[in-house]
Chains A and B, each alone.
Chain A
Amino acid sequence: MKYLDEFNDPELAASQFEEIERIVTRPWSLMEVCGGQTHSIVRNGIDQLLPERVRLIHGPGCPVCVTPLETIDKALAIAARDDVIFCSFGDMLRVPGSHHDLFQIRSNGGDVRVVYSPLDAVRVAADNPDKQVVFFGIGFETTAPANAMTVVEARRRGLTNFSMLVSHVLVPPAIAAIASSPDTQVDAYLAAGHVNTVMGTGEYAPLVERFGVPIVVTGFEPLDVLEGIRRALLQLEEGRAEVENAYPRAVKPGGNPAARAVLSDVFEVCDRAWRGIGVIPASGWRLSEAYAPFDAEHRFEVSDLHVEESPLCRSGEVLQGLLKPSECEQFGTTCTPRQPLGATMVSSEGACAAYYQYRRLAPSGQAGAKVDA
């Protein structure tokens, strides 16, 4: 299959592993920023096959995981209303709020619908003029253009019954937050390729300059991930720190100009709380003033809702790469995909869920000697 098999070729992968083995002379820690990359790495066992000196740290790039509990509770409060049809991407339905999740809202009679394209939510609004239709607009820069188009389209069609609960987050400020942490163990970053498809690579040069770390724009199939790892290691070994694009088939330096134009029109930068990490300055998007009437938080008056996370959950440390999922005392015992304490165990892109799903061979939750090297 074009674009799948080609980037999953075992022989090419084997030669990449050999090349990486040849390059590496001392221990390095790389952070793959995106949850999609974490999933690919753990599912394919890439981390098991890397030299022991190369350690992968799973970053905060799962949009489901970093959406604050408070936002989930706001979503639940809105979705439970009789006059609301609540539309969401599928994997948000299982994310637990303080007391329940969207599945439970649905079984209690709430009208909660999974949409695959955000614009479907606008269609639902047009088809149901007597209901308020709310779309749960979460994600990184990747999902933002399609989410932004919902309010553009709703305005064009004159729909007054559509709104969006926005919890958008941005990758560069998250990298800056991790890189400036005194505890950071990350030597280089694999940037989330699909974010760069939209935004381009221009935002990363200042980070490289400020923190002196290599940032390699990386794709998601096994060979894409390996190429990102190889280039990052090569930079580290040669003492370089640059922005490199290892995913040129999808990423242009300027990104997607049409998408960026819509984004700058619809959103404005704001401080944003990240689940488990806390507030990172200028790390999110909210609706711009021009589109503020479409903001569900104001329409349904849930802005004042405040809640606390489970004190047992250490997903914040996991999201910052300070803790491997299997090192958490709750992992696989009090915290499982069935009874998740935090969102990293819920989403299939979450590091804890990926470890739970693929790494329970040994009692400690590790598959092989190399996993936690």
Chain B
Amino acid sequence: MNDDGHVTEMAPGSWSCPLPLRDHERIVTGHGGGGRLSAELVEHLFRPAFGSEVDDPSHDAVVLPVPTGGDRLAFSTDSYVVTPLIFPGGSIGDLAVNGTVNDIAMSGAVPVALSAAFVLEEGLELATLGRIAEDMGRAAAAAEVRLVTGDTKVVEARDRGGLTITTAGFGIVPDGVELSPRRVRPGDQVLLSGPIGAHGMAIMSLREGLEFESELRTDSAPLAGLVQTMLAAAPGGGVRALRDATRGGFAAVLCELAESGGTGIEYAERDLPVPADVAAACGFLGLDPTHVANEGKLVAVVAPEVAEEVLAAMHSHPHGVEAVRVGEVVDDHPGMVVARTGLGAKRVVDLPLGEQLPRIC
């Protein structure tokens, strides 16, 4: 869909398979060829699902007015691959929108617009793609961000109908907002927006050969609204740094903050909210919940004098109802994260090396 054009506004979720697409139930090479099949895919599948309206269809690039509210842009991109494509509570479409929205939001910016580029494998069912596109439209509406331009390519089947989505987007950083790990100081408090581990374990519960029954659902959610609520509660710059705890989990985010801020961080394992079913699933797979991915949780480092206000503001937002204070920035062991264990001892918290591997026994 290089050629963005005028589309009629349609509610997300109203995708229906009109006549031209009925010729193919699955993606074929021609859907990425730039010809009639490509155009039909854009016109009848993506545009209705995304529900975006663009005024001038004559450019390959979308032309947008410069937003107001600040004179700095935050710009980010991310690629999304996940198996399975659809899982409890969402799909790769939700991740592709919320993930990039959250990356932008962690700079303190208000996200404005996203692009979406698809690499489709031959054999992907159009109904699956339609569902994923709808999820993207719905997620964009919930995040108050527009999906304005995109591209589609088709590659030979490698994984029986896989799909990669790359989204990029920008937001406006409000005047006066300055978030960076370099602003973190000893004494600052570490806040976490809610329970950890649900996304990663929901995906794991569906992995081939590992199916286990659980009611775990992804926590995928846009966090830009929560961030603005937090910033409004501490207008004097009391919010120092934000990170969304995605791949690598809560532990990786703390390690990264400690390392780039050159400070130590400590937290108590006992204060860490881990849902019982996440703890159980991690227990029998030999995984550490602090290393499990989240898609709708953030870690905030805030000045001690505003910690209560920011926490209260988080509790007032739907995506921060279960926010907790989990730890603090310390003078000791710069660059290193230390956990106080449930029994009262201390241990170093490290980045996982690569993929988490279930243990033998």
Q: A residues bordering B, Cβ < 8 Å?
A: 1, 4, 8, 10, 13-14, 36, 42-46, 48-49, 63-64, 89-94, 114-117, 120, 138-140, 142-143, 194, 222, 337-338, 347-349, 356-361, 367-368
Contacts and interface: CB of A to CB of B under 8 A. Distances in A.
Given A45-B347, A194-B361, A10 B342 contact: yes
A63 B209 contact: no
B209 A89 contact: no
Contacts of B343: 10, 13-14, 44-46, 49, 222
29 contacts: A1-B279, A4-B279, A8-B342, A10-B343, A13-B342, A13-B343, A45-B347, A46-B343, A49-B344, A49-B345, A64-B360, A89-B358, A90-B358, A90-B359, A90-B360, A114-B357, A115-B209, A117-B209, A120-B209, A139-B360, A139-B361, A140-B361, A142-B361, A143-B360, A338-B353, A358-B347, A358-B348, A367-B346, A367-B347
Contacts of B209: 115-117, 120
A116 B210 contact: yes
Contacts of A14: 343-344
A116 B358 contact: yes
Nearest to A143: B361
B346 A45 contact: yes
A89 B358 CA distance: 8
B341 A43 contact: yes
Contact of A63 (B283, B342, B353, B360): B360
Contact of A361 (B279, B341, B346, B359): B346
A98 to B, nearest CB: 21
B34 interface: no
B66 interface: no
Given A1-B279, A4-B283, A357-B350, A44 B359 contact: no
B333 A348 contact: no
B276 interface: yes
B361 A367 contact: no
B278 to A, nearest CB: 10
Given A115-B209, A117-B209, A139-B361, 10 more contacts: A10-B270, A13-B342, A36-B359, A44-B343, A44-B345, A45-B344, A48-B345, A92-B360, A94-B354, A359-B347
Contacts of B154: none
Nearest to B208: A120
Interface in B308-343: 333, 336, 338, 341-343
Contacts of B279: 1, 4
Instruction: Name which of B270, B276, B344 has the most chain A CB atoms within 10 A of its CB.
Output: B344
Contacts of B347: 42-45, 358-359, 367
Contacts of B333: 361
Ordered nearest first, which 5 A-B pairs have the shortest CB separation?
A45-B345, A90-B357, A358-B347, A48-B345, A120-B209
Contacts of B350: 356-358
A348 B346 contact: no
B339 to A, nearest CB: 9
Interface in B6-20: none
A138 B359 CA distance: 12
B286 interface: yes
A221 B119 CA distance: 46
B280 interface: yes
Nearest to B270: A10
Interface of B (DSSP majority class): loop
Contacts of B276: 1
A229 B333 CA distance: 31
Contacts of A8: 342
Give the bracket for the number of chain B residues in contact with chain A: 20 to 34
Instruction: Name which of B333, B345, B347, B358 has the most chain A CB atoms within 10 A of its CB.
Output: B345
Interface in B249-292: 270, 276, 279-280, 283, 285-286
Instruction: Name which of B283, B338, B348, B350 has the most chain A CB atoms within 10 A of its CB.
Output: B348
Contacts of B286: 348
A45 B360 contact: no
B21 to A, nearest CB: 33
A64 B359 CA distance: 10
A348 B359 contact: yes
Contact of A48 (B338, B342, B346, B357): B346
B357 A361 contact: no
Contact of A44 (B210, B280, B341): B341
B342 A94 contact: no
Contacts of B353: 94, 337-338
B361 A63 contact: yes
Contacts of A42: 347
Contacts of A93: 357
A240 B90 CA distance: 60
A84 to B, nearest CB: 18
Contact of A360 (B270, B336, B345): B336
Contacts of B361: 36, 63, 139-140, 142-143, 194
B361 to A, nearest CB: 5
A89 B348 contact: no
Given A1-B276, A337-B353, A360-B336, A91 B346 contact: no
A45 B347 CA distance: 7
Nearest to A146: B361
Contact of A91 (B341, B344, B360): B360
A349 B346 contact: no
A361 B348 contact: yes
Contacts of A357: 348, 350
Contacts of A368: 345-346
Nearest to A371: B345
Interface in B129-179: none
B337 to A, nearest CB: 11
Contacts of A46: 343, 345
Nearest to B276: A1
A142 to B, nearest CB: 5
B327 to A, nearest CB: 16
B269 to A, nearest CB: 9
A91 B348 contact: no
Nearest to A47: B345
Nearest to A115: B209
A359 B342 contact: no
A43 to B, nearest CB: 6
Contacts of B357: 90-91, 93-94, 114, 348
A336 to B, nearest CB: 9
Contacts of A64: 360
